């Protein structure tokens, strides 16, 4: 890999066979061979090097998905990267690969709510027990640890409430007790944090978000260490969780500008965080205050910050929060994020799931903002116009 990620993303693949600057889109269910001996030769190659793109059947992937795997593996600096049809598909593949009946998982309390539902509710039916730890008190990991603990699952920063954690401390504890670690790294992507490089075993990114960058495709990636590769490839082959060639092509197209877009998202988000920090009734949940704990742990592990932030708004009238959101003209209202456009969403407490350690007062409400690629001055003026509704 070249030294600069910015250069790498622009020169990841050139197809000199077709003389195309972009890789060809290969759609197929059947790979054809000249003879059975040719087929068997590919099968032997695949057994010898399962990361080598030696396909015998479309469900294993095509040349298009293989190229995206290589790009992401280089970007992640991982042993391999698996592709799934959605970001949540990568969450499922991660857990399905590692956990078995009678195992236990310790998971961050501010986890993505569908992940909470999957672990706390669905896995319970398979005799897999979920325990939650406090991201602000990592001693709760130690308190929840037993001989049955198989995996520590982190989301950093926390979903919606954006708590940053001491990742090194979590990894050290896990290695000491020979427990696997996974992290949802969608907020930062490996452009700002490379989890496998610092010691995690599995790293999840929703490719729907910043990899694509244009809100027109869904996908997920699961980067892994060599330690867990065989477990994950076996699980993926059994479940058939594969990304389509069309979606892989769109993600490759988007990822060429990942650095340019994330740098702009970050620049805009910092400007808006500084503006909102001056408001007495708003606490900005973003790593911008140098004297804060969140900033300390962000700065320790990350090289940058993305465009997603939270606002803890203190008002007497809950309806005023919705009025604030609804009056925004440049912020759409909807789920997902990571595209070019700004979004605003009022997160109800019930949408957070059964949070054990989240303590909000009756007059405190969480709003999530995704800061897009628009002119920051326009976004600030839009927010300024709507702040009058917060009472």
Separation CA 107–CA 104 (nearest Å)? 10
- Give the pLDDT confidence of 170-216 residue by residue, as tens digits: 999 999 999 999 999 999 999 999 999 999 999 999 999 999 999 99
3-state secondary structure of 90: helix
Among 136, 167, 1, 166, which Cα is nearest to 78's? 1
pTM for the whole structure: 0.93
Domain ranges in the chain are 5-255, 258-389
| Structure tokens, 250 | 């769109």
The dotted CATH code for 5-255 is: 3.40.640.10
Provide the strand spans (E) within the chain. Answer: 80-84, 104-108, 129-133, 149-155, 180-184, 202-206, 220-224, 282-285, 308-314, 331-332, 342-347, 364-370
Which position has the token pair 């900033």? 295
Give the bridge partners for 153, in sequence order. 107, 182
- Give the pLDDT confidence of 222-258 residue by residue, as tens digits: 999 999 999 999 999 999 999 999 999 999 999 999 9
pLDDT confidence band for 9 (50 / 70 / 90)? confident
CATH topology of domain 258-389: 3.90.1150
Rounded mean pLDDT, 126-145: 97
pLDDT attached to residue 13: 67
Among 158, 184, 219, 192, which Cα is nearest to 306's? 192
- Give the pLDDT confidence of 275-290 residue by residue, as tens digits: 999 999 999 999 988 8
pLDDT attached to residue 267: 98
User: What is the average pLDDT value for the chain, to the nearest integer?
Assistant: 93
pLDDT confidence band for 353 (50 / 70 / 90)? confident
């Amino acid at each position: 890999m070249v030294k600069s990620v910015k250069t790498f993303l622009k020169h990841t693949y050139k197809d000199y066979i077709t003389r195309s600057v972009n890789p060809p889109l290969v759609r197929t269910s059947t790979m054809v061979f000249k003879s059975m001996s040719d087929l068997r030769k590919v099968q032997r190659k695949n057994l010898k090097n399962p990361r080598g793109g030696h396909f015998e059947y479309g469900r294993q992937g095509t040349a298009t998905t293989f190229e995206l795997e290589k790009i992401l593996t280089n970007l992640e600096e991982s042993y391999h990267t698996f592709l799934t049809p959605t970001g949540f598909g990568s969450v499922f593949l991660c857990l399905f690969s590692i956990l078995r009946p009678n195992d236990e998982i310790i998971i961050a309390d501010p986890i993505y709510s569908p992940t909470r539902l999957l672990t706390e509710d669905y896995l319970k039916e398979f005799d897999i027990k979920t325990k939650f730890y406090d991201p602000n008190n990592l001693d709760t990991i130690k308190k929840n640890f037993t001989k049955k603990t198989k995996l520590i699952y982190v989301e950093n920063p926390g979903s919606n409430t954006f708590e940053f954690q001491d990742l090194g401390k979590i990894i050290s504890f896990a290695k000491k007790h020979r427990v696997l670690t996974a992290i949802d790294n969608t907020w930062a992507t490996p452009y700002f944090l490379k989890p496998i490089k610092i010691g995690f075993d599995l790293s999840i990114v929703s490719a729907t978000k910043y990899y694509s960058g244009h809100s027109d495709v869904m996908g997920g990636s699961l980067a892994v260490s060599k330690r867990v590769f065989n477990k994950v490839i076996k699980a993926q082959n059994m479940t058939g969780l594969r990304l389509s060639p069309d979606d892989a092509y769109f993600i490759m197209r988007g990822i060429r500008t990942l650095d340019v877009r994330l740098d702009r998202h970050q620049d805009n988000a910092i400007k808006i965080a500084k503006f909102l920090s001056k408001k007495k009734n708003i606490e900005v949940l973003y790593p911008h205050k140098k004297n804060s704990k969140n900033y300390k742990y962000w700065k320790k592990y990350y090289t940058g910050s993305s465009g997603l932030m939270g606002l803890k708004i203190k008002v007497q009238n809950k309806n005023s929060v919705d009025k604030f959101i609804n009056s925004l003209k440049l912020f759409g209202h909807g789920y997902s994020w990571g595209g070019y456009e700004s979004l605003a969403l009022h997160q109800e407490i019930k949408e957070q799931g059964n949070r054990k350690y989240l303590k909000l007062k009756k007059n405190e409400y969480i709003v999530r903002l995704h800061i897009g690629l628009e002119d920051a001055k326009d976004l600030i003026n839009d927010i300024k116009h709507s702040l009058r509704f917060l009472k």
